[in-house]
Amino acid sequence: MVGIIGYGSYIPINRIKSNEIAKVWGEDPKRIEEGLGIIEKSVAAYDEDSVTMAIEAGKNALSNKLSKEKIGALFFGSESRPYAVKSAGSIVAEALDLTPNLTVIDTEFACRAGTAGMVAVYGMVKGGIIEAGVSIGSDTAQGRPSDALEYSAGSGAGFFIIGKENLIAQIIDFYSVTTDTTDFWRREGIKFPSHGGRFTGEPAYFKHISMAMDGILNKTGYQIKDFNHVILHQPNSKFPLTVAKRYGITQEQLKHGLLVPYIGNTYSAATMIGLANVLDNSKKDDLILLVSFGSGAGSDAFVIKVIDPRPPKIPTLKYIQRKKYISYVDYLKMRRLIVK
How does pLDDT run across 120-147, given as a tens digit for each residue? Answer: 999 999 999 999 999 999 999 888 888 8
For residue 33, pLDDT beyond 90: no
CA distance 268 to 276: 13
CA distance 37 to 204: 20
C-alpha 1: how far from its chain's center?
24
pLDDT band for 3, please (50, 70, 90 cuts): very high
Give the pLDDT score at 196.
72
Give the pLDDT score at 5.
96
Q: Which strands sit side by side in the sheet containing 3-10, from one edge to the other? A: 103-107, 71-77, 132-140, 155-163, 3-10, 169-178, 298-306, 287-291, 229-232
For 238-302, give the DSSP string.
HHHHHHHHHHT--HHHHTTT--HHHH-B-GGGHHHHHHHHHHHT--TT-EEEEE--BTTTEEEEE
Positive or negative torsion for Cα 332, 334, 337, 340:
positive
CA distance 269 to 326: 22
Total Cβ atoms within 10 A of residue 112: 31
Mean pLDDT of the chain: 94
How does pLDDT run across 230-283, given as a tens digit for each residue? Answer: 999 999 999 999 999 999 999 999 999 999 999 999 999 999 999 999 999 999
CA distance 106 to 90: 9
Strands (E), the chain: 3-10, 14-17, 40-43, 71-77, 103-107, 132-140, 155-163, 169-178, 184-185, 194-195, 229-232, 287-291, 298-306, 324-325
- Provide the annotated active-site residues: 79, 111, 233
How does pLDDT run across 84-115, given as a tens digit for each residue? Answer: 899 999 999 999 999 999 999 999 999 999 99
Apex CA 128: angle with CA 103 and CA 273, to 5°? 60
For residue 198, pLDDT beyond 70: no
| N residues, the chain | 340
Among 305, 268, 61, 286, which Cα is nearest to 160's? 61
Amino acid, res. 316: T
CA distance 34 to 40: 12
Apex CA 319: angle with CA 73 and CA 92, to 5°? 25
Give the pLDDT score at 65.
66
All domains in the chain, ordered by first residue: 3-334 (3.40.47.10)
Strands (E), 29-70: 40-43
